[in-house]
Structure 1
Amino acid sequence: MKRLKPLWDRLLFQDKGVLPTKTFIIYFSLFIIALFFLSFWRFSWLFLMFATILFLCLSIIDLYLMPGRKELTITRELTKEMERYENYLVKMTIENKSSFDCIIRIKDSFPVSFQTTFPENQSIPKLQKTMLSYEIKPLIRGKYTIDKLYTRYRSKIGLWERQLTFNQKDELKVIPNLSETKKYLASAQNYLLHEGIKIRKMKSGMGEFSKVRSYVVGDDPRKMNWRQSAKLQEMMTNEYEPEHGKNLTILIDCGRMMGVELEEGNRLEKSIEAAITLATAALDNGDHVSVIAFSKDIKTVIPSGKGLDHLNTILQGIYSLQVDPQESNYELAIRYIQSVQNKRSMIILFSDIQTFIHEDHHLFYLKELRRKHLFLMLGIKDLLLHQKIEKKPTTVKLAMEKSVAQKQYLLQKKGMRKWEKHGLPMLESPAEDLAVTAVSQYIDTLNRGLL
C-alpha cells in the first residue's frame, strides 16, 4: 500500500510526476482498435509490438516540447485577512523560462471551507511572466495555513501532462463579516431604531455640551443660547450628547445552544457580528469596551480599551471563537465580571434566552450584579417556533403543533417578565436585526442617562 500511495497522490492532483492526458488515451485507444482489425489480415505479432513501441516513442517527444521542472516557477499573492462570506482574489505570477509554450491547470491547497474556482487550461507563453487570478470565498472563521500549490501543465500537442507541487507557506485569518459594522460607520442613524420607533431625545441639559447650531422648530426653548443669538442676530440653541467615557462589557456565550444553525451561519456567528458592531458604536462614542467569551470555562478576555484602534484588538481576540459542545457556565462568567469590572458598566450578554430563563439559580448572582451594573440580555428569535405559531391549523396535526408552539412561547414570555421585574431585561430579535437592536439599546441607555 505504501508503494501505491505516491501513484494515488499523483492521480489526486498531488505529488509530482507525468500522467497521460485524455487526448493520449483517445489516440491510443484508436490505435489499438486499428491494430485489432489489422490483426485479422495475419500481420505478425512482431509487427504489432513494433508499431505499439513506435507510437509510444513518438508520443514521448511531446514531453520534450514542454517546460522542464526547473523552468517553471509560480508565486501566490493573497489577502492575509479575509471576511467571512466575502469574495477575494488570489493572484498568481507564473514565470516560464523555457523555449516552449504550455497550457496549465492550477489547484491550491485551500481547505473545503473555502469556495474556489481554480484556473483551468490557461495558456502560458514562453520566456514570459504571466499573471493569473481566481476567486475564493471563505465560509468558516479561523486561522489557516496554505502551504502547497499543485499544478499540471502540458504542451500544445497535449499527450502528456507534467505535475509539479510548489511549496509556499501563507497564513491567513478569516474574521467575522463586518458588513454591519461598515453600515454603522456609514450611517449611524440607521441603527438608532428599535421596534420601528426612533429613540427619544435626551432630557434638557443632560449630557455633555456638543455644539451651538441654528434653532429649528421643535427644539426645547430652555436650551436657547441667548448670547450667540444676540451676536449673530439669529436664533441659536445648544446641543447636547451623551457623556463619553462610559464602560461597556460584552459577554458572548459560546455554549452548545449557540451552535443552532440559522439560514446563514449559526447563532454564535450572528452574535459575534452584532458584538463587533456594538463595540464599534461604543468606541466611536468615546466609551471603554471590554469583551468576555465563555462556555464551560472563560475562553477569551479582552481588557477594557477605548478608541477605534481598540476594535482591531477585539477583532483579533474573538475572530476564531467556535461553539463548544458543553453547556454554558453563566455563574462562572458573572463571578468573573464582578472580580474584574470595578467601575459601573453596561453588561450586554449575547446568549440563548430560552435556555437561560429556565435556570433560576442564575437569578441570585445576577441580582448581585445588578446592584452595581446595568444588565441586558439579547437573543435570536426562534423562527421555526414563530412559523408554527403563524400557521393556519388546517389539519389536526398542524393544530397540535400550533398549540404546543403557542404554549412554549407563552412560557418563555412569562419567564422573561419574571426576570425583567428584577431589573434584568431580555430582548429577542431576528438574526438579521440583532446588531441594530444591540446598538439601539446601548444608545437608548446613554440617552436616558441610566449609565
Structure 2
Amino acid sequence: MERMLESEMERYQKETVSISIQNLTSDNYMVRLKDGIPETFQTIFPSSQPVASEHKTMITYDVFPQRRGKFLIDSLYLRFKSKLGLWERQITYNLPTEVKVIPNLSEAKRYLASAQNYLLHEGIKIRKMRSGGVGEFSKVRSYVVGDDPRKINWRQSAKLQEMMTNEYEPEHGKYVTILIDCGRMMGVELKEGNRLEKTIEAAITLATAALHNGDHIAVIAFSKEIKAVVPAGRGLEHLDIILQTIYAIQVDAQESNYALALQHAQSIQHKRSMMLLFSDVQTFVNEDHHLFYLKKLRKKHLFVMMGIEDQLLHQKIKMKPSNAILAMEKSVAQKQYLHQKQVMKKWEKHGLPMLEAPADRLAVTTVSHYIETLNRGML
C-alpha cells in the first residue's frame, strides 16, 4: 500500500488523495478502505473497489480541508473479502504523512490573474502616477491627448520627429506592516469560518498585491502576547515565508494587547510604513487610551484599521419591528451603530482611519485602500 497526496493543501479547496494497491496474489479481490484522515477533512471513502491479481491498482478519493494547521495522517485500513464472500479480513498499514493546510488563496490568485479587474467593482483604478507627482521612470511612449505637457521628452521628440512623453509609475520599495489580531473577538463565527480566517485571507491578498508591486511586507500576529513575526521582505518568494509562519495561528481566548503589538511593530520597522491593523473595530474604539499612543505613531507611520462588519447588528437595524421587543432591539442596535460611527469619525480626524467591510469583501476593500493610498502618494 502507498498513499500519495500533496504536502500542502488550501482550506476549502478540493484535493485528491491516491492510494496505490499492489496485489501480489493470484486472486482477484473486492476491497474497501478507510484512511486516517482528520475529522476536520470532509471526505467520502471509496467502497467495493476491484483489485486484479498480480496488478497495481490506483484508488482515489477527494478531501475538503476545513481547518488550517499541521495534521498527521497515519493509519490506513484495508478490508477484502474471500472469493465466496464468507469472510472478510482487515489489514492496518502505518503510513505516516504530514499535511499542512494553508489559508485559502483564491483572492490572491484572482489579484495576480488581473489586478485591475479585481479592483473594478470597487471603482479603483491602478494609476501609473498622479499628475505632477514624483515616481520612478518607466518608459518613453507616444504622446496622447490628456498627458501632462510637463512630461514631454523633447530630446526623443526631436530625434523621432514625433511628440514623445515620459511615463512614470509610483516608487517601489514602500514598507507595509500587517498586524493580525488573534484575540477573543476574532473567534466570532461567520457563515464560513470565523473572523480570523477571513482576516488571514485578506492579509495574504494584501501581501500579494504589495509584493507584486515591489514593496516590503512585514507581518505580526498577536493576542495577549506576540504569536508570530515575519520581518520585512520583498519579492513574491517572501509570500511563502509569510504563509509558512502564519498558516497555523489560531484564536486565543484572551483579550488582545494592542500596545504591545504596536510597540513591537515600531521596534522592527524604523522606516515610514503603512501599518494596517486587522481587528474588531467595536472593541478597539471603546478603549480610548489607545488614541494617545496612536497619535504619536501617526507622526511617523500611516495607520489604518480594517474590521469585519457585524452582520447581526445590521440585520437588527434593517428589520421591521412587529412588536415592542423587536422595536427595542432595533433602537438599541441603531444607538450602538451611531455611537460607533461617531467614535470612528473622531479617530479619523486625528488621521487614524478605520474601515469596515462585509466578510466576503474584506480582501478587495483592503487592497483597494492600499492602491488608493499609493495613487494619492500618501505613503
Matched, 1:424 2:338: no
- Give the RMSD, CA atoms, in angstroms: 1.6
Count the aligned residue pairs: 378
Structure 2 residue aligned with 1:78: 5
C-alpha separation between the residues in 2 aligned to 1:92 and 1:175? 23
Tell me the amino acid that sits aligned with residue 215 of structure 1.
Answer: Y
SS at match of 2:78: strand
The Cα shift of 1:390 comes to 1.6
> In the alignment, which of 35, 41, 47 is matched to residue 114 of structure 1?
41
SS at match of 2:108: helix
Tell me the amino acid that sits aligned with residue 335 of structure 1.
Answer: Q
**Greater helix proportion:** 1
Tell me the amino acid that sits aligned with residue 225 of structure 1.
Answer: N
Question: Is the contact made by 1:194 and 1:436 (CA closer than 8 Å) also made in structure 2?
Answer: no
1:394-413 correspondence to structure 2 within 5 Å: 394-413=322-341
Structure 2 residue aligned with 1:163: 90
Structure 1 residue aligned with 2:192: 264
Structure 2 residue aligned with 1:363: 291
Cα distance change on mapping 1:154 and 1:283 into 2, 3 Å: same
- The CA deviation string for residues 113-165 of structure 1, in whole angstroms up to 9 with x for no partner, is 00111110001111111111110010000001111101111134212110010
Cα distance change on mapping 1:222 and 1:392 into 2, 3 Å: farther
- The CA deviation string for residues 39-64 of structure 1, in whole angstroms up to 9 with x for no partner, is xxxxxxxxxxxxxxxxxxxxxxxxxx
> In the alignment, which of 226, 251, 256 is matched to residue 298 of structure 1?
226
1:385-396 correspondence to structure 2 within 5 Å: 385-396=313-324
Structure 2 residue aligned with 1:63: none
The Cα shift of 1:389 comes to 1.3
Structure 2 residue aligned with 1:252: 180
Tell me the amino acid that sits aligned with residue 4 of structure 2.
Answer: E
1:105-144 correspondence to structure 2 within 5 Å: 105-144=32-71
C-alpha separation between the residues in 1 aligned to 2:326 and 2:151? 59
Tell me the amino acid that sits aligned with residue 337 of structure 1.
Answer: A
> In the alignment, which of 298, 308, 311 is matched to residue 380 of structure 1?
308
Runs of 5+ in structure 2 lacking a partner? none
Structure 2 residue aligned with 1:240: 168
Runs of 5+ in structure 1 lacking a partner? 1-73
Cα distance change on mapping 1:282 and 1:247 into 2, 3 Å: same
The Cα shift of 1:192 comes to 4.0
- The CA deviation string for residues 283-304 of structure 1, in whole angstroms up to 9 with x for no partner, is 1111111100000000001111
Tell me the amino acid that sits aligned with residue 187 of structure 1.
Answer: S
Question: Is the contact made by 2:7 and 2:100 (CA closer than 8 Å) also made in structure 1?
Answer: yes
Tell me the amino acid that sits aligned with residue 450 of structure 1.
Answer: M
Structure 2 residue aligned with 1:331: 259
The Cα shift of 1:195 comes to 5.0
Which stretch of the first structure deviates more once superposed, 356-365 or 185-194?
185-194
C-alpha separation between the residues in 2 aligned to 1:194 and 1:202? 21
Question: Is the contact made by 1:193 and 1:440 (CA closer than 8 Å) also made in structure 2?
Answer: no
Question: Is the contact made by 2:69 and 2:101 (CA closer than 8 Å) also made in structure 1?
Answer: yes
- The CA deviation string for residues 83-112 of structure 1, in whole angstroms up to 9 with x for no partner, is 000001101110111111111011000111
Matched, 1:224 2:152: yes
Structure 2 residue aligned with 1:350: 278
Which stretch of the first structure deviates more once superposed, 387-396 or 94-103?
387-396
